[in-house]
Amino acid sequence: MKKIALSGAAGQLGSVLRQALLGRGVNLRSAAGTRPLEPLVDGEDVMHGDLRDPAVVDRLLEGVDVLIHMAGTSVERPLPEIIENNLRGLVEVYEGARRHGVRRIIFASSNHAIGMHPVEDTLALDCDFRPDGFYGLSKMWGEGLARLYWDKHGIESVCIRIGSCIEKPTEFRHLSTWLGFDDLLQLIELSIEVPDLGFQVVWGVSNNTRSYWDNSGAARLGYKPRQNAEDYAAEILAKPNPRDATAQRYQGGSFASFDFTPQE
């Protein structure tokens, strides 16, 4: 049975995945950052620590086949924090994967790596990167790092460009960007199990009628999303769009309008 490590296990998506994977009997090691995790089941393999420290990474990756890397800063923050958590931390993780012979890393990338594309465009997986801030830029960099470690060191990566992964869509943008929890879990399970993926990028999005993103370039993953934000459209369209005009213009929404310089 494969040994799976999950970093960022105390985070918003990490906690959803931890509970679901344990429930499915996955041989899981869950890692948090600063505070220890309370075991959810007897004898659960848990740990915590700062992933910039190679000794912590060694504890995370010892005996591991696949790492689900959900740790790091997940919103726009000042550049030094992004550099420490999303650049330095990620290099330590990939270097650790080399030391421990980890076969594959599932990297939580983000739609914010392409957030400055206008909402009218439907994007294929090979679209240009158009980050909407330093956070999005760090995800673009992370995908580049994942590519480097596949090409040069043979460590496979699945980079999931996660949209809006929440229990249910609550605003207009989510009709395009929503990723339901069941579909997230399907993506993670396929990313663990499908053999010989090499380097693969996939949009982390449900089967939304109004999706901005086209996953046909990730066919070998076999992802068949079953949730659709349109089921919530009536409720959402009955309310005003809470976002300003700039946020409504770009796929990254409020990340795009944050610190935006209006052009003449």
Residue 135, sorted as left (phi over 0), alpha (psi -120 to 50) or beta, turns out to be alpha
Token output for 76: 């726009």
C-alpha 33/C-alpha 11 separation (Å) is: 9
For the chain, what is the radius of gyration of the CA atoms? 18
Single out the residue of 30, 85, 86, 111 in contact with ligand 15L (rule: CB under 6 A).
Answer: 111
Stretch that binds ligand 15L, among 17-25, 44-52, 94-102, 104-112 (CB under 6 A): 104-112
Which residue, 110 or 215, has its beta carbon nearer to ligand 15L?
110
C-alpha 199/C-alpha 209 separation (Å) is: 28
Token output for 55: 């000794």
Token output for 101: 């012979």
Which residue, 8 or 96, has its beta carbon nearer to ligand 15L?
8
Does 74 help bind ligand 15L (rule: CB under 6 A)? yes
Smallest distance, Å, CB 242 to ligand 15L? 13
Single out the residue of 85, 164, 200, 208 in contact with ligand 15L (rule: CB under 6 A).
Answer: 164
232 belongs to the catalytic site: no
Which residue, 86 or 111, has its beta carbon nearer to ligand 15L?
111
Does 15 help bind ligand 15L (rule: CB under 6 A)? no
Stretch that binds ligand 15L, among 43-51, 108-116, 119-127, 141-149 (CB under 6 A): 108-116
* Cβ pair 108, 160 in contact under 8 A: yes
- Mind giving me the DSSP string for 195-253? S---EEEEEE----TT-SB--GGGGGG-------GGGGHHHHHTS---S-HHHHHBTTT
Does 85 help bind ligand 15L (rule: CB under 6 A)? no
Smallest distance, Å, CB 168 to ligand 15L? 13
Single out the residue of 7, 30, 176, 177 in contact with ligand 15L (rule: CB under 6 A).
Answer: 177
Smallest distance, Å, CB 20 to ligand 15L? 19
Smallest distance, Å, CB 111 to ligand 15L? 5
C-alpha 233/C-alpha 6 separation (Å) is: 33
Residue count of the chain, please give it: 264
Which residues lie near ligand 15L (CB under 6 A)? 74-75, 110-112, 162, 164, 177
As annotated, the active-site residues are 135
